A = this chain, B = another copy of it.
Amino acid sequence: MHDHGTYPLKDLNLKTTPKRVAILNLLAQESTYISPEEIWRKLKGQFSRVGLPTVYRNLEELAAGGIISKVIHPNRQLYYYFCPNRDHHHHFICVACRRVEDVDYCGMEDVERQVSERIGGRVLSHIVQVNGLCRSCSAKGGNGESTHVGVMK
């Protein structure tokens, strides 16, 4: 789907290993979020030996480095997604088909002001995720899996 381009793995003190690159390429091909085990199954088609811990380790490192993003899922399992958009933004995920789309919106400036002025605290990070049904899944009328994580009304 997208090309992940040349990522500064070096800047993150991550060696450019075949496994790591393959994981990144697999993610870049997907337009949906994916689990560590799914990545692992795909990797096994390319390498004779791959350990699941290697996949978990790499996904975590890539996410920590900001190259890929985590998806919050009600079943509490880990899912990751690679998004080529380097500007700050958030995602709309389809709970039925796992498709991920960009949401170019983030009101964190206002929130930070409010936290600073009214609460006296300091914002370190924030989580924003929009769950729903994409166009095609919405048309099919499917409900998908229920998504009740965080505050939702």
Chain A interface residues (CB < 8 Å from chain B): 63-64, 66, 69-72, 76, 78, 88-92, 94-95, 101, 103-108, 110-111, 114-115, 119-135, 137-138, 144, 147-153
Closest Cβ–Cβ distance, residue A31 to chain B (whole Å): 13
Q: Which 10 A-B pairs have the closest CB atoms?
A: A120-B135, A127-B150, A125-B152, A107-B107, A123-B132, A124-B132, A121-B134, A127-B129, A125-B131, A69-B151
Closest B residue, CB atoms, query A104: B114
Q: Can you give 12 A-B contacts (C-beta < 8 A)?
A: A71-B150, A92-B123, A94-B121, A105-B111, A119-B134, A119-B135, A121-B133, A121-B137, A123-B131, A124-B132, A127-B128, A129-B150
The answer to whether B127 touches A72 (Cβ under 8 A) is yes
The answer to whether B70 touches A150 (Cβ under 8 A) is yes
A interface SS class = mixed
The answer to whether B115 touches A122 (Cβ under 8 A) is no
Closest B residue, CB atoms, query A83: B151
Closest Cβ–Cβ distance, residue A56 to chain B (whole Å): 12
Q: Which residues of B contact A123 (CB under 8 A)?
A: 92, 130-132
The answer to whether B111 touches A126 (Cβ under 8 A) is no
Q: Which residues of B contact A71 (CB under 8 A)?
A: 150
Q: Which residues of B contact A149 (CB under 8 A)?
A: 70, 72, 127
